[in-house]
Amino acid sequence: MKDCRQFYINGQWVNPLANKDFAVINPATEQEIAVISLGTSKDVDLAVAAAKAAFSTFGYSSVEERISLLESLLKQYMDNYDAMAHAISLEMGAPIDFATNAQADCGKGHIESTLAALKEFEFSRTLGNAQIVKEPIGVCGFITPWNWPINQIACKVAPALATGCSMILKPSEIAPLSAQLFAQMIHDAGYPAGVYNMVNGDGMGVGSAISAHKDIDMVSFTGSTRAGIAIAKSAADTVKRVAQELGGKSPNIILDDADIDKVVKNGVLHCMSNTGQSCNAPTRMLVPASKYQQAIAVAKATVAKVKVGNPAEHGNHIGPLVSEGHFEKVQAMIQAGIDEGATLLAGGVGKPEGFETGYYTKPTIFSDVTNDMYIAQEEIFGPVLVIISYADEAEAIRIANDTPYGLAAFIQSGNPERAQQVARKIRAGMICINGGSHTYTSPFGGFKQSGNGREWGEFGFDDFLEIKSISS
């Protein structure tokens, strides 16, 4: 079992001020694999003081210096790439092939796209009689989740470093191993002491201290909408900037001119990817009434081939949910769908046969769902798909927008121009047409209760910059 109880503060691994151990559990085996310490507000104070002191120098570093440091960080990341994939697989149950090809790739992708953006970014320009300067906002506080752990760390940390900010990170206490490794990469890359700090902890102990801290200039949070609301309220007293990437209930709109067999199959597989633990997963499949029975048959046949497997084994399968608490939440949501009267097309409550140990759940599909049902409105965050019928295109658009969320949407059509027209009417931050992928250079973020601000590539710079006008 790994001992990860130290925090990374002011360029050193230091002991917590108070001993409060927390066991890290492998969700596939239910066994302890590491122990961390849950920090306190006093640990946060030390980290913020270090970041504040470091900002007085790093905030005025040259672009060339920051490019060199990011290039060094990228080298450290690639030298430790396999170790990162292994850590993610252990801590949150991602199958090792998926952890290697998708999860760990995010760290590489975000550092590379940040580097490319930094080399071209315009930090000052002349407008009229004024020089318009974009300067780093200051000390940043990051609170990141467990479902795509290094993705959410890298897409915040890399642009913050690129723009000259200093920072404190609180990774998820459920999946902290990837963050532990990343902190060591930062150290080995040669960043000045205090620029990057990491304190483990839970939301009440460390997260709330970060969001309310008077010396933190901005907070970036990824997680549930419920937690995001609490963070925004806590941050309001110090009038700090708050950027959030929150929940989603993304529609997958299948238009009547789409290849039903193909797009339904792809939609089911996409929803089940990462065991459904993705905020932008296409969890509401909208199908024209005339093609509904065909779609149900394809969905049922497809989900029957979705394999559940051990994350340590190679192959194309999904792993367990991340924790016992999350498993119980997803199980309750599945039961709620049954109680509401939706038709259980596949899956259901309980664990898959042969997986009594571990937080495994059955790939589940509900049909005969109406959009006012609980399972159609609330984010389940598991391998659960709901299929909803619609009468015409106008109703499909109405149903797609009838949600408190607006993170992503997916549109399938045999007519790309028609799909573009529908996309303009959807209230969501990211639209993927006919399987188009979201790349590291595209902005990531949503409308409504899916949050504010944008991450990834050059779009991730804006939240970390203040604008100054110098007139002469």
Beta strand residue intervals within 255-311, DSSP E: 284-288
State yes or no: is 245 an active-site residue.
yes
* C-alpha 178, offset from chain centre: 14
Token reading at 380: 């389940």
Q: What six digits make up the tokens of 299? A: 């969905």
Residue 187 C-alpha from the chain's centroid: 24
| Contact of 216 with 199, CB cutoff 8 Å | no
Q: Which of 245, 379, 455, 458 is catalytic?
A: 245
Structure token pair of residue 469: 């006008």
DSSP state of 318: B
CB atoms within 10 A of CB 139: 28
The edge-to-edge listing of strands for the beta sheet with 218-222 is 12-14, 7-9, 196-198, 166-170, 139-143, 218-222, 241-245, 451-452
Per DSSP, the three-state class of 67 is: helix
Residue 443 amino acid letter? P
| DSSP β-bridge partners for residue 253 | 286, 411
Point out the catalytic residue in the list 165, 279, 379, 455.
279
Nearest in space to 390 (alpha carbons), one of 285, 470, 463: 285
| Residues near 33 by beta carbon (within 8 Å), at least 6 away in sequence | 1, 2, 24, 25, 26, 90, 91, 177
Residue (of 302, 250, 278) closest to 410 by Cα position: 250
Q: Establish whether 120 is a catalytic residue.
A: no
- Residues 427 and 447 sit within 8 Å (Cβ to Cβ): yes
Angle at the Cα of 329 from the Cα atoms of 325 and 335, rounded to 5 degrees: 145
Q: Which of 439, 445, 462, 461 is nearest to 109 (CA)?
A: 439
Q: What angle do CA 294, 297, 301 make, to 5 degrees?
A: 140
Q: What HEC string does 372-439 produce?
A: CCHHHHCCCCCCEEEEEEECCHHHHHHHHHCCCEECEEEEECCCHHHHHHHHCCCCCCEEEECCCCCC
Question: What are the φ/ψ torsions at residue 450 (nearest 5 degrees)?
Answer: -90, 0
Q: CA-CA distance, 355 to 357, in Å (whole number)?
A: 5
Catalytic positions, written as ranges? 245, 279
